[in-house]
Amino acid sequence: MENGGAESSNGKEEQLESEISKKLEITKMVKRRTMEKKEAKLLHRLFLVCRDFGFQVFVEAKEQKYSLHSGGG
């Protein structure tokens, strides 16, 4: 009977660990999406401000490199 109780306890611990792991992954995903949305808003604002001042903004999203070029040729 004691072994059955230990096995049941181990099963519950594994289930709890699995649930915690899933919730942690979801939390990380939500944080990542939130940061991506904030970054997108900031980039859009930067683009608008630079455009208003006559600059062109070139963005290489994968490498997160930004460069400004004057609008006049």
**pLDDT value of residue 72:** 53
Q: pLDDT digit of tens for each residue in the chain (73 aa)?
A: 455 666 678 889 999 999 999 999 999 999 999 999 998 898 888 888 888 888 776 666 666 666 666 655 4
Residue with the two structure tokens 């939500």? 30
**pLDDT value of residue 49:** 85
Total structural domains within the chain = 1
The four Cα atoms 34, 36, 38, 39 give a dihedral, to 10 degrees, of: 160
The token duo for 8 is 């049941």
Q: Containing domain of residue 52, as a range? A: 2-70
Whether 68 and 57 have beta carbons less than 8 Å apart is answered as yes
